[in-house]
Amino acid sequence: MTTTGRIQVLRANERPATAWLNGGGVTREVAGFPVGAGLGEFDWRVSLADVASAGPFSPFPGIDRVITLVEGAGMALTVDGAVQSIDTPFRPFAFPGDATTDCRLLDGPVVDFNVMTRRGRVEATVDLRTGPGSVQVPSAATVLLVCLAGSAAVDDLELSRYDAALLDAPGAHQLRPDGVAAAITFRTVTTR
């Protein structure tokens, strides 16, 4: 991890892989908040998963999920009985983490990108970028940029595939992907 000004760089080669309990794959956490929070305590969590075999998803009560295919032919997810084909790379699909969800691989292993937020506490928008542009970090928000294909530059910092940049101070940054980058904006839910 490298911190430069208002940008914290999270390198892919520094992430440990955690095997799933069911043996169907491994997950690498990109970032989460609060830092170091376990699966039952996070407000938000972003990860990349290597899915090697079909099977049920672990339930995450009170969690909203967005999953995006980044490598492989894809998968068919059955979410509370409804089948959703996740076979187009870089097309996010949102679903409740507490839904009964089963995965069938369409043609071999896949890598998927996961954004999870605690319902009622944090909301996230997932914006996939293929061209240069500005990324605005609003007040009281955090933005995570993840290079999903090719490479990307954030201001003067270079990101390789699966590297990330965490932006947690208000302001504008220039994002120049040479491939595909995800820009995830996390906002705390305010109750009135």
Position 2 pLDDT exceeds 60:
no
Q: Which residue has the tokens 């491994």?
A: 26
Model pLDDT for residues 45-93, shown as the tens digit of each residue: 999 999 999 999 888 999 999 999 999 999 999 999 999 999 999 999 9
Q: How confident is the model at residue 40 (pLDDT cuts 50, 70, 90)?
A: confident
Asked if residues 172 and 139 have their Cβ atoms less than 8 Å apart, the reply is no
Are the folds of 3-8+121-188 and 15-118 the same?
yes
Q: Is 5 helix (H, G, I), strand (E, B) or coil?
A: coil
Q: Domain segments of the chain: what residues?
A: 3-8+121-188, 15-118
pLDDT the model gives residue 140: 87
> How is domain 15-118 classified at the architecture level of CATH?
Sandwich (2.60)
Q: Is the pLDDT assigned to residue 19 strictly greater than 90?
A: no
Taking only the tens place, the pLDDT of each residue in 134-189 is: 999 999 899 999 999 999 999 999 999 999 999 988 999 999 999 999 999 999 99
* CA–CA distance, 37 with 27 (Å, rounded to integer): 15
**How far is 42 from 131, CA to CA, in rounded Å?**
31
How far apart (Å, rounded) are the C-alpha atoms in residues 164 and 136?
16
Q: Kindly report the pTM of this predicted structure.
A: 0.93
The helix or strand, by DSSP H or E, that contains position 58, with its residue range, turns out to be none
What CATH homologous superfamily does 3-8+121-188 map to? Jelly Rolls (2.60.120.10)
